[in-house]
Structure 1
Amino acid sequence: MFERIWEFEPDGRPLSPGLMRALTHAGNYVSGAFDGDLMVGASVGFFGRDSTLHSNTTGATAGRGIGFELKLHQRLWALERGISRITWTYDPLVRRNAHFNLAKLGARPTEYLPDFYGVMPDAINQGDESDRVLAVWPLTDPRVEAAVRRVPYLPAVPEDAVVGLGDDGERPVEGRTDGRVVLVAVPEDIERLRGADAGAAKAWRHAVRDVLGGLMAEGATVTGFHRRTYYVMERNT
């Protein structure tokens, strides 16, 4: 399942069947979603600090809602074991993932992690730096409870919000970051852009690192994802 999604090189498989077997035997989370006998999604997680389950790898056939169902299962599994939150990392440049994590699940990015995994040998990430944000999913938060009932979280954006990073169609456009609320755009399709224009993809990577990562380092909070395009950043002072 994972090899079909990420197209790993032969020596780049991050999870072997043996490792997943060992994780489950030690009490960690491994699940699969099936359409009849066909596996259409899977997820692997392990226990972390402070009553946390870290969701290491989740993949599913696109466009069928399987990823959402996997997350619902993961949440119930965690709650049954007294776990209060789930964390995972994702590429902040992938719009659909940002919308899924922040709007559909009600999770929140809490930390920007530059080039977190180093060189990644799969077809999707090849040739790019592996910046990630750490998403935290507080399982009993009212925002999350609404999201799992399929009420997406859509943040209110004030009229005086400023655009810290815009999108001209291909390349990032730096703007203002001096407002109380700052919008930070990500490209429409970073995976396509990596193959079509590596220079533009690299420009996006560094611009989002500087603006989104810089604001988070200053203590700004990511409060949501707006119009499937912009991170909404709110300064705490």
Structure 2
Amino acid sequence: MTGHREATARTGVVIRELREVPEFEQVYALFDGIWHPEPRNVPMTVELMIGFAHTGNYVAGAFEGERLVGASVGFRGRERSLHSHVTGAVVTGRGIGYALKAHQREWCRKNGLDTITWTFDPLVRRNARFNLVKLGALPEKYLPDYYGEMADAINEGDPSDRVLTVWRVRDAGNASPTPGVANRPVLLEAGDDGWPVVRKAEGDVVLVGTPPDIERLRREDPAAARAWRAAMREVLGGLMEAGGHVAALTNHGEYVVTVRRLFHRGFAAL
């Protein structure tokens, strides 16, 4: 993975830790503009950011001149870990999110932390690609309806299933060898109508597909989006609960899952 200084230089922004109330208010406004949450469901309050920043936790912003264009908030967890609770950028396609994660990783190194954890929606293919392919982080646990009901423009009306993802600070960017995926059985994929298709299959490495654009599907065909949520929980959630390990993501947006002696609700992996 690119170092944080190089990653930041490519974006043309300056990333720094935040300490002042007006800065936290800018972060609050930035997150509000991204998620458009109801007041009861804001990603992070100003008061919490103040408390986090002044008790040795991570609150950082990416600035383009005087304008805040990205921010990340995390707090220390167990076993020398930082939990990255929320990260967002208002400008896409410029690598600001990547630069924030590189800065976060360097912060953890300097503060003696070994891992960074966060959650993401396993249905969102672009986020899976960013986390697994670009950063080299890997999901370790499936969390059904983790946040409960979420009242914002992106997540409202959909169960908040997430996968807990772990990024090892010392060897981030040094991905493990990826199992071969040629001719591996596909347990979940999109049908011609966009709805999920679940199949029975056997194998020590299996593929679990994702919808091309779940956010568009939620707007245009909510019933299909709900079917994808149920199918992903059943297939990926079931495999991970039974000990399956997500090892990679294919170029087609399929999770590569290694399994051993598993049997789960209608499909077997020997």
TM-score between both structures, scaled by the size of structure 1: 0.93
How much is the aligned-residue C-alpha RMSD, in angstroms? 1.5
SS of 1:15 mapped into structure 2: coil
Residue segments in structure 2 that go unaligned for 5+ positions in a row: 1-29, 262-270
Equivalent in the alignment of 1:168: 191
SS in 1 for 2:39: coil
Amino acid at match of 1:145: G
Kindly report which structure 2 residues correspond to 1:123-134, keeping only aligned pairs within 5 A, or say none. 123-134=153-164
Task: Give the structure 1 partner of residue 21 of structure 2.
Answer: none
Residue 159 of structure 1 deviates from its aligned partner by: 2.8
Deviates more, 1:100-109 or 1:158-167: 158-167
Tell me if the contact between 1:185 and 1:231 (Cα under 8 Å) persists in the aligned partners.
yes
Distance 2:41 2:142 in 1: 24
- SS at the partner of 1:73? helix
Select 1:193's aligned residue among 207, 217, 230: 217
- Pick closer, same or farther for the CA change 1:158–1:225 going to 2, 3 Å: closer
SS of 1:11 mapped into structure 2: helix
How far the C-alpha of 1:154 sits from its partner, in A, is 8.4
Match of residue 173 from structure 2? 145
Counterpart Cα distance in 2 of 1:132 and 1:79: 26
Q: TM-score, normalised by structure 2?
A: 0.82
Match of 1:121? 151
2:101 maps to: 71
1:12 to 32, 37, 41: 41
Count of matched residue pairs = 230
Distance across 2 between alignment mates of 1:236 and 1:38 = 50
d(CA) in 2 for partners of 1:217 and 1:22? 35
Letter in 1 for 2:70: G
Q: Once the two structures are aligned, what percentage of the paired residues are identical?
A: 52
Task: Confirm or deny: 8 A CA contact 2:184 2:205 kept in the other structure.
Answer: yes
Over alpha carbons, which structure has the higher Rg? Answer: 2
Partners of 2:122 and 2:187 lie apart in 1 by: 15
Q: What residue number does 2:259 align with?
A: 235
Return 5+ residue gaps in structure 1 as ranges: 148-152
Q: 1:10: how far off?
A: 2.9
**Compared CA separation, residues 6 and 228, structure 1 to 2 (3 A):** farther
Task: Give the match for residue 238 of structure 2.
Answer: 214
Give the aligned partner of residue 85 of structure 1. Answer: 115
